[in-house]
Amino acid sequence: MTLRRARRLLAGVACAFALGVSAPGAGAAAEAAPAAPALARAIRIGMVNETSGANAESGTYQANGARLAVDEINQAGGVLGRPLNIDIEDNQSTNPGSVLALSKLGGAVAIITSIRSTQTLAIMPRIARAGVPTMVGGTDFTLTHANNPWIFRARPHDGYSALVIADFGATTLKKKRWAIVHSTEAFGIGGKDHLIEALKKFDIKPLLIQGVNNNTQDYTPAALAVKRADVDIVAIYLASPADVGNFALALRHAGVDRVLIGSPSMSAIAAMRLGGEALFNSYSISDYVADANPQALAYAKKYQARWGLEPDLYSSWAYDAVHILALAMKNAGGTSPDALRKALLAIHGYKGVEGGYNYDVNGDGLHGYNVVKNEHGKIVFIKHVAFQPE
């Protein structure tokens, strides 16, 4: 065994133990059963994904977006002359499942998490111990502000989303009587807190702040609370598209006819399909919309041709995450964690499907949101609002 190969094996063992698993290929079994040449040469990215459970539909979109990117990269010659593989582990749409899924991805040179902030928070301590560059899709502000140098985001954070929602609702829609309905986990609480702060600029104090659990079966109490509050706009930070659709239906059944504005889950395909007419004429901010830029429009056509479906943000961010990791590997000239981390932080001006990526010191690459409207079941782009990176 060469010195270089020995060092690679030891690095793989160290990473695997940090993630909580036995290193594949370590020990006597590795000498007895060497890996196939094609797999031995492949660069492995691991993905923690909602393949099953309450959010399985979102997980399908995420996996499809990542696989499309991997196929494109390999058709173009791979990365550093090597093919790129993505290993997907199911987290069953839960926090404990995320920890277990991550433990099965030892040896991956980089990780892509699910889109859920709360699931990412559950695995961040292990990511920190492992020292593996990790792309996240959760928008909770704290994910990239928790002194974990291995976290990189491929979506805008909710500090931005709250600013855009508050400004559009107060200045463009001219609404003064606000209700905020949010999920009672990291994403919803963080979004709610940032929106309360953003509304202060307009001397607005919400008349109702209503928290609800994820996957709530009956949204009637929340809808009636909105009705009693006599508000003219309802801001929604619900993590699950199904919850968005069910809440919109509950508002409709309760006779509540108010302007709705909210987070990207409001314009997700699953939310619009379930909510139907109850979400017509609603507004949301979104990091992905096909008409926002040429890259997004081209992606929509490619995704449709490959999977026979319209894409949404659950696929687009994963597609960008894979391409950004591949770009960082090429720029670094290798896949060592430190070199990859430095290369990710140095990415500026990359034109992705979700927008222009300019990574700041915190690991945030996107700094703005699109404002969109649901016009009779079709998402219509209104404008893009950009902010300066930190």
Residues 355, 352: Cα–Cα separation, whole Å: 5
Asked if 216 contacts 184 with a C-beta cutoff of 8 angstroms, the reply is: no
Q: How far is CA 82 from CA 304, 338, 375, in A?
A: 28, 20, 45
Asked if 234 contacts 181 with a C-beta cutoff of 8 angstroms, the reply is: yes
Percentages (nearest 5) of helix, strand, coil residues in the chain: 50, 20, 30
pLDDT for residue 17: 37
Chain centre distance of CA 212: 21
Residues 227, 10: Cα–Cα separation, whole Å: 61
* Residue 249 clears pLDDT 80, i.e. is over it: yes
Position 197 confidence tier, pLDDT thresholds 50, 70, 90 = very high
Position 328 confidence tier, pLDDT thresholds 50, 70, 90 = very high
pLDDT per position as a tens digit, 91-135: 999 999 999 999 999 999 999 999 999 999 999 999 999 999 999
Asked if 10 contacts 107 with a C-beta cutoff of 8 angstroms, the reply is: no
pTM for the model: 0.88
Phi and psi of 283, rounded to 5°? Answer: -120, 150
* Residue 15 clears pLDDT 60, i.e. is over it: no
In this structure, of 2-6, 62-66, 139-143, 235-239, the range with the lowest mean pLDDT score is 2-6
Neighbours of 348 (CB within 10 A): 12
Position 276 confidence tier, pLDDT thresholds 50, 70, 90 = very high
Phi and psi of 385, rounded to 5°? Answer: -115, 120
Asked if 129 contacts 20 with a C-beta cutoff of 8 angstroms, the reply is: no
DSSP 19-42: HTSPPTT-SHHHHHSPPPHHHHHS
pLDDT per position as a tens digit, 59-94: 999 999 999 999 999 999 999 999 999 999 999 999
pLDDT for residue 389: 85
If one compares 356 and 13, the residue with the highest pLDDT of the two is 356
Across the range 191-205, mean pLDDT stands at 98
pLDDT for residue 54: 93
* Residue 343 clears pLDDT 60, i.e. is over it: yes
* Residue 365 clears pLDDT 80, i.e. is over it: yes
% of the chain beyond a pLDDT of 90: 88
DSSP 237-292: E-S-HHHHHHHHHHHHHTT---EEEE-GGGGSHHHHHHHGGGGTT-EEEES--GGG
> Which letter does DSSP use for residue 364 in this model?
B
% of the chain beyond a pLDDT of 70: 90
Position 19 confidence tier, pLDDT thresholds 50, 70, 90 = low
Asked if 267 contacts 316 with a C-beta cutoff of 8 angstroms, the reply is: no
Asked if 215 contacts 54 with a C-beta cutoff of 8 angstroms, the reply is: yes
